[in-house]
Every structure is written in C-alpha cells, then in structure tokens.
Structure 1
Amino acid sequence: MSKRGTPSGAPPELNVTRRSLLLGAGGVAVSAPAILPAQRRGSAPRVTVVGAGVFGSWTAEQLRRRGARVTLVDAWSPGHSRSSSGGESRMTRAGYGKDEIYARMALASLSEWQSLSRASGLPILVPHGVLFFFQNDLSYLLASLDVHRRLGLPTESLDRSALAARFPMIAFDGVQGGMFEPRFGALMARRAIQTLVHRFLGAGGQFEQRRIDGTGDYPAADRIVLALGPWLPKLFPRLLGQRIVATRQEVFTFVPPAGDPWFTPARMPGWADFNNGDVFYGFPDLEGKGVKFAHDAHGAVVDPQTQDRRFTDKALAEVVAFRDRRFPRLRNAQLATAEVCQYENSSNGDFLIAPHPDEPRIILVGGGSGHGFKHGPEVGRMAAELTLDGKQPDPRFNLASKGTVQKREVI
C-alpha cells in the first residue's frame, strides 16, 4: 500500500479540471490532477478513484476487474469513522416498495457481499434476516411483496398474530402486517470496506492516503471518478450544493438483559418499524456491541468536516421512548454506545452516477441517502461501465433527475 502526503484536518478541496469546472467548484484556486490520454492504443486505461467509502471502493474494484489500472485515493483510511460508510453495521434488504430498481440492485449486490464475507476472516454479512412491519398504510408492504414475487425471493408475509408468535421480543401493538426477508441481514460496514480494499490491493490495485486538496500531483489518469460522499457537494457547491446535502444521524446501542437469548442474531432479525411514516430501525446484539436503534429521519443539515460528533440528550430520549414502547424487554437497558454519523442525501433519495456536465471524463458518484451501502457492488459496476465504456445507467441516476428541494421519495 503506497502512501503519499499527510492526512490533514483541512477541508478536502479538489479542482479537477479546467476553467469550466473551476466555476463549478466555486472558484477554488487549486492545482488539477493530470487527465492524459493513454500513451498507446490498447494500453490499459488509468483511472483515479477519489474517495474510499463503499461507492469509491467498489468502483475501484469493478474497474480493476475490467482491466483498468486503478489508484484509489482518500484523505484518511478506507471506511474511516468520519465517512458515511464508517461505523459498525448497515442493513441490506430488498424491501423497497414499488422501487423495483433498488430491489434488483440489492439482490445483485448480495452475492458480492456473500463472496466478500466468505473471504474475510470474520463475518461481513450476518444473514439474520430483515423484518419490516406496518401500521395503517400497507401499500409499501403490498408493493414490496409483489416485486419480491417477480424476483423469486422467499419473502414471507406475516399478519400480526404470526409476527407476535415468531418475534416475542417486539410488541406489535397497532401493527397490521409485516414481511420477513430471510436472505438479508446486516453488513459489518468498516470491516467490509477494509477487506474489500485489502483484496483490491492484493490483486494489483493501488491506494494513496493523502490530503485531497490539490496540493500535490495525482497520478496521470485517463479518467477520474469522484466518490467523495458528503464532501462531493463541498467540491462543487454551485453544481451540487443544493442537490446533495449531508445530514446528522444519531445511533444508539443498549445492553440486552444478561442471559437473554432473544436479542442475539440467532433469534432477532434486523428490523424497521414504519411507524406511520416515521421510521425507526435497528439490529440485534451484533458481536456484543449492543442492540442498535436509530431514527430514520433526516436530521439537521451539517458540514461533514466540522459537525459536532457528540450525541444529544433529545435524540437519546426520543429513541428510548420508542424502545420502551416497542421493545418492553429492554426497558431500563443501559446505554452501551452513542454515535453520530451522517447521510448524504440527494434531493429525492436516488443515487448520482453521472459524468460531470462540463467534463465527461470526470464521473460523479454519490447521494447514498442513508440506504446506499448495501448497493455498493452494483453502484461500482454501473460507475465502472460508465467510466470505461460510456454506458449510461438508469436515468434516475443522472444529474438532471436531482432537484434543489429535498423531498425524499426512496425509503
């Protein structure tokens, strides 16, 4: 693993092209990495991928598989705690209501996660299943079940009595129905990124840890992929500043009762309570860290560089009130951990996988929107095909589909 430069707390800024992009970057006067044509016909293309989160790391790996000479660059280590891909766990599931495109992407990505998990010394995919349950509006449930039938997924539809009998650790008061996805579960996020990059390096890829602000020269590249997560709109504030925003999210884990097996991954699934549109979700006690709870509401808009990483008493009280109502066996459970991370939300929740409008050799990848981690392998595949072959992904992932008003449509 090669390293150049020194990590810094300074904001990552990268002016990656000529005057047209300088305007998109808000006029930041920094040096540009060279974008040079291949030296001879038939030579392997050289691609620099900037950002070693889940989208950037999988893009680098998918490019490498297609024969490109790839350098992955990040200011910190892969899967670092300040990134949207950092942290312990992320959910993988195919329940997306009528949004079949994401169900298909999750299913296609699942085999990649399974393969990576088999290659790791410790589990990356924990297939404890995923349970969604609903109160009054069952339209999301019915649409998901319809999509899953078409995809041949073994998803189970459960009424309230079946839910209560099968998952006694949850109080299903007011719940009308639910669905259980047995093939899905939790992804151990930081371990996944680190394992992926380790294997990428072992197969001939390169990684450089360096300050991303143009203070040094980048390897000559035919293409550059920018997968900078919540830092992407900071790089292009005029182009993306209102189309992708970072929001603060607080996550808590609690100590389960001693000797109680109901909160282990063998008994308890990952879950999401649609809560009449105000979604909470969580995980069982993964690797002894505690039972996880989070409120899936987009929090305050933040700067990923400067946001306060301390949790708030208000957010904790909100989660505890929900926990005590829906998981009564955890009442008075001791707080184990409290963490602050972020989403990088596009205006509607769809991803961005598109060339820069003024420089098509630069590919923009982002907008994970809180649900993107599970899709990393497929996002990487689409980004690699766009980078090397010019193959455009679904129009939902282009720049034109992103508005300037935040209105989440993908859940």
Structure 2
Amino acid sequence: MEVYDSIVVGAGIEGSSTAYHLVKNGHHTLLLQQFPLPHSRGSSHGQSRITRMAYGSDDYYTEMMKEAYKLWEVLENESGTTLYKKTGLLVVGKVGDDQIDGTVRALRKYSLPFTSLDGQVLRQKYPMLNYPEDIAGVEDHSGGVLFADKALAAFQGQFVKQGGILRDNEAMVDVSPGDIVTVKTNKGSYRGRNLVLTVGPWATKVLPSLGIHIPLKVLRISVFYWKEKIPGTYGAETFPIFLEDNAIRNFDVYGLPSLEYPGLYKQCLHSGPEIDPDRRDDTDSSWVLDAIKQFAAEHFPLLEAHPAITETCIYTNTPDHDFVLDRHPACRNIIIGAGFSGHGFKLSPVVGKVLSELAMQKISSYNLSYFKIDRFPK
C-alpha cells in the first residue's frame, strides 16, 4: 500500500493551508475532507472574513500577522486571484480600555500605521455611528476583508496543482497510530508517515478517541446582514471593518462593510449557543438576534431594524481563546491544529506553515509555548 509523507484530515482553511505548505516542501500529501466540496457545515465557508494587523496585548499574534499578510500576497500571485481588500479597521471602546490601549501599543511597537480618534473626532468622521464622547476609536490602516471562499479554493487549487491528492466526501472513521499511521475512512484505508488533524468542531469527537482531552466549546455563530437605509452609507469605499470589544455580555461585535450583498452590512456577535456539530440546528439562538438588534439600533442608526439575511458559522473555542498547535504527547507524528476560537482564518497561512513544520520535524518559525496541548488542567 502507498505510504504518504503526510495525511491531513480536514480541508477547512487551516488544513488546506497546511497541505499546501507540505506539498510546496516536497511532501507527498493526501488531504481528506468528510463533506463534498465546497460545503457550509464548518468554520471556513462564506464570502468574507476580517483581517487586521494588531492584536492588542497578544503580541505573538501581531508577529504572526506580519507574515500572514505576506503569505496571502504570495497565494494571490500564485493563484491569480484577489483575496484581500484593504478597508482599514475601526476599533471602538472607552478611553483607557485594554482593547483600545493594547491596539495602540501593538501598532506602535511594530511601527504600523494607525490613527487615534477621540470621542469628538470619532463622531465627526463617522456620523453613521452613534456613540457618546467617552467612546474613542483607533484606526488600524492595515485592516481589511479577506475573500474567504476564494482563499479556501486558492489553497486547495494550488495544493492539487503542485501534486497534492485531495479527496472529499470521505469521512475518517478510525486512526491506528504507529511509525506509519493508518487512517481508515468510509471509503478506504491510507498510510502516512505523519498525520495532521485539522478537523474543526469535530475535534471534540476525534481527539478524545486518541487520548487528547482539550476543553473545547463548539458555538454556532449567527451572521446577520442588514439593509442600509441610505445605500452606500456602510459601503467598503466609505466605512472600514469594525470591532467593539465587550460590546454585548462581554463579547465582541464585528462588522464588515457592504460588500458581499449589495447594500447589506454584515454584523455578528463573537459568541453563540453551544452545539453538537452534527446537530447544529437543535439550539435556540434567539437571544443573539435580540441582542444584536438592540446593538444595531443603538449604534448603527442608518441600518434597518431587522436583518435581511441570516447565515451561520461555527467557532471551536479554547478556554483562553488561543489555538492548539502541537504534537500528540505520545504519538509524535500526529499533529493537532484545533481551537481556532473565531480568529484563525486571517492567520491560516502562518498556521499552515507552523503545522507543516511540526509534521516535517523542522524547527518552528514561532514560539509555540502559547499553543501547547498541556497548558490546560487535566
């Protein structure tokens, strides 16, 4: 039976990026995906994601984002596809908040362009927002929109173009560890010197069977699209991507300018009800809609009162919202990427590089102490 250098299970953005980096480094690589591609059952679908350079007090993410921007550009050039639109990012919060001060510190530390806005200037520059003068803003000029579906397709396309094998509609049913790992699916059996597991919300089901118990929570995220009362008010040419930290029940609210659907502004709460990924619609999330409607009515007065379209996504959160990027403690040729906590997409070019380095047993490009499996109490 053929032996692959690496088998990657899970062809979301993290797994597809990992497979892409492996094949670029000469690894004979198999990428497996349980659903037919493209699909909307996980965390990587949809037309757009926010990207930004600064990560407040989390310097290690800001450091990784510097390379992520460069790697997105490489993928754009390789695929001949536009994957990013620069709009800038507006972060709002009370003067002295960690989100505001931390963002400014990170932008200064890495000499990144930004503009600080006091309450009065914020109200003057963005009259389409409604905030009191004790709310300030920071503009991260590197922020923008990633075209998510196109990015995922670009990673997969380049992977296949460079000799990778992609099999979709093929679910993993068993793993037999060893010097050569055997992966059984509903359609066959495959052998590899390394196995990378990037299975998204299904990590809660796959990892315990391998003796890995990470306290992951799988959340269903509602994504709302609101019609503008005046077309173009929140359009990509006039309004940046948006973030308010701890806006609702200590959760962030994100917004993206009208871009995907003409005249519809995208907004969502960075949280939702906990779910089983195989029964994602069995949970009531009406509280999310009620909360975000109240938020929009208060702070975005030029949006209609009710969202025109609602879509869903899934987050898989760790308790500290940092990723897991590590080797299995007992099976060193099994690599785990999990718990991307709703902010992994923008970092996926670097995540894929890191996971591929682990699989190839190279020295990591980054300090991975923040991402260890054993940081959680047993």
TM-score by length of 2: 0.88
Is the counterpart of residue 224 in structure 1 residue 195 in structure 2? yes
Larger displacement relative to structure 2 (286-295 or 265-274): 286-295
Is the counterpart of residue 286 in structure 1 residue 259 in structure 2? yes
Q: CA deviation at 1:84?
A: 1.0
- Partner in structure 1 of residue 179 of structure 2: none
> 2-side partners of 1:355 and 1:48: how far apart?
14
Contact in 2 for aligned 1:57/1:193 (Cα 8 Å): yes
Q: CA deviation at 1:118?
A: 4.9
> 2-side partners of 1:268 and 1:119: how far apart?
30
Q: CA deviation at 1:331?
A: 3.8
Counterpart mapping for 1:255-334 below 5 A: 255-258=227-230, 260-275=231-246, 277-288=250-261, 290-297=264-271, 299-308=272-281, 312-332=285-305
> 2-side partners of 1:309 and 1:137: how far apart?
40
Q: Deviations over 1:276-308 (max 9, x none)?
A: 6432111111132521111113x2221111110
Q: CA deviation at 1:146?
A: 1.7
Is the counterpart of residue 169 in structure 1 residue 128 in structure 2? yes
For the structure 1 residues 200 and 311, does the alpha-carbon distance in structure 2 shift closer, same or farther, using more than 3 Å as the test? farther
AA at the equivalent of 1:237: P
Q: Deviations over 1:252-275 (max 9, x none)?
A: 1012235x3221100011101125
- Partner in structure 2 of residue 154 of structure 1: 113
AA at the equivalent of 1:335: P
- Partner in structure 2 of residue 85 of structure 1: 44
Q: CA deviation at 1:174?
A: 5.0
> 2-side partners of 1:402 and 1:191: how far apart?
35
- Partner in structure 2 of residue 102 of structure 1: 61
- Partner in structure 2 of residue 353 of structure 1: 325
Q: Deviations over 1:320-364 (max 9, x none)?
A: 1110110111143x5321112211111211111111122111111
Pick from 208, 221, 235: which aligns with 1:237? 208
For the structure 1 residues 175 and 50, does the alpha-carbon distance in structure 2 shift closer, same or farther, using more than 3 Å as the test? farther
Q: CA deviation at 1:156?
A: 1.7
Is the counterpart of residue 397 in structure 1 residue 371 in structure 2? yes
Is the counterpart of residue 186 in structure 1 residue 145 in structure 2? yes
> 2-side partners of 1:46 and 1:172: how far apart?
55
> 2-side partners of 1:362 and 1:57: how far apart?
17
> 2-side partners of 1:167 and 1:312: how far apart?
31
Q: Alignment partner of 1:357: what SS?
A: coil
- Partner in structure 2 of residue 143 of structure 1: 102
> 2-side partners of 1:307 and 1:191: how far apart?
25
For the structure 1 residues 186 and 311, does the alpha-carbon distance in structure 2 shift closer, same or farther, using more than 3 Å as the test? farther
- Partner in structure 1 of residue 177 of structure 2: none
Larger displacement relative to structure 2 (208-217 or 127-136): 208-217
> 2-side partners of 1:310 and 1:169: how far apart?
34
> 2-side partners of 1:254 and 1:139: how far apart?
29
Is the counterpart of residue 114 in structure 1 residue 52 in structure 2? no
Pick from 335, 340, 343: which aligns with 2:315? 343
- Partner in structure 1 of residue 346 of structure 2: 374
For the structure 1 residues 191 and 159, does the alpha-carbon distance in structure 2 shift closer, same or farther, using more than 3 Å as the test? same
> 1-side partners of 2:57 and 2:228: how far apart?
35
- Percent identical: 28
- Partner in structure 1 of residue 171 of structure 2: 211
AA at the equivalent of 2:325: I
Larger displacement relative to structure 2 (391-400 or 65-74): 391-400
Contact in 1 for aligned 2:227/2:308 (Cα 8 Å): yes
Is the counterpart of residue 68 in structure 1 residue 15 in structure 2? no
Provide the alpha-carbon RMSD of the alignment: 2.3
Q: Deviations over 1:142-162 (max 9, x none)?
A: 222222222121122221222
Larger displacement relative to structure 2 (373-382 or 175-184): 175-184
Q: CA deviation at 1:402?
A: 2.9
> 2-side partners of 1:168 and 1:79: how far apart?
39
- Partner in structure 2 of residue 247 of structure 1: 219
> 1-side partners of 2:81 and 2:368: how far apart?
35
Q: Alignment partner of 2:166: what SS?
A: strand
> 2-side partners of 1:311 and 1:284: how far apart?
27
Q: Alignment partner of 1:221: what SS?
A: strand
List runs of 5+ in structure 1 lacking aligned partners: 1-33, 37-44, 405-411
Q: Alignment partner of 1:316: what SS?
A: helix
For the structure 1 residues 394 and 250, does the alpha-carbon distance in structure 2 shift closer, same or farther, using more than 3 Å as the test? same
Q: Alignment partner of 2:360: what SS?
A: helix
TM-score by length of 1: 0.81
Contact in 1 for aligned 2:81/2:154 (Cα 8 Å): no
For the structure 1 residues 122 and 131, does the alpha-carbon distance in structure 2 shift closer, same or farther, using more than 3 Å as the test? same
> 2-side partners of 1:318 and 1:139: how far apart?
23
> 2-side partners of 1:359 and 1:280: how far apart?
39
